[in-house]
Amino acid sequence: MKKHIVTIKNRTEELPVLQIGDNLSIAFFNLHGNVELTEHCATHIAQLVKQSGAQVILTAESKGLQLAHCVAKILAHKFYAVARKSHKLYLQDGLKVTYASITTKGEQSFYLSQADTNLLRGKIVAIIDDVISTGESIAALENLCKQASATIALKAAVLAEGNAATRNDISFLATIPIFNY
């Protein structure tokens, strides 16, 4: 299996390169189950959130969850908001947006519960995730913030993938390429 080496704030990680389409592969970054890596990344993302003045963190299910949890803990936030990828019973009175994803075929949706909508309403928000690639999911999270009447102070990820690394509206800790093979 092909591997890609990335250095995230002085920590080196070896990522497997996975094919996700015809002539399209990515360096797969996964925080699930990796406590040390998650805490390392959260420490640096928390600094960005603190500098932004954000009052609430919003993340996407599922790979952003443990990152958001650790960042919230570091910053002594009692709650953070989570955009869910599937509709649950408790989401009936919340918000919904649709988007496209590089790693999932077809149209995707984010659902925000009424409780999380209320948590965001009128607040200064930091949107955080593991990887920003096409920007579609970040744009969907921005849309949820707008619907909830929240102000976005920061859009941040551990990694910026491909062209996302050239964007000046996001913050990130390191970059990874998209492979055309």
pLDDT in tens, the chain (181 residues): 899 999 999 999 999 999 988 899 999 999 999 999 999 999 999 999 999 999 999 999 888 999 999 999 999 999 999 999 877 766 667 788 887 765 566 788 899 999 999 999 999 999 999 999 989 999 999 999 999 999 999 999 999 999 999 999 999 999 999 998 7
Output the six-digit token pair for 108: 């995707």
Question: Which pLDDT belongs to residue 101?
Answer: 63
Rounded to two decimals, the pTM is 0.91
Burial of 35 per CB tally in 10 Å (0-12, 13-18, 19+): exposed
Q: Which residue is associated with the tokens 């919340």?
A: 94
Q: Which residue is associated with the tokens 């909508």?
A: 117
Domains (range + CATH), the chain: 31-174 (3.40.50.2020)
Q: Which residue is associated with the tokens 């649950």?
A: 88
Half-sphere exposure of 156 (CA within 13 A, CB side): 26
Number of other CB atoms surrounding residue 154 within 10 Å: 21
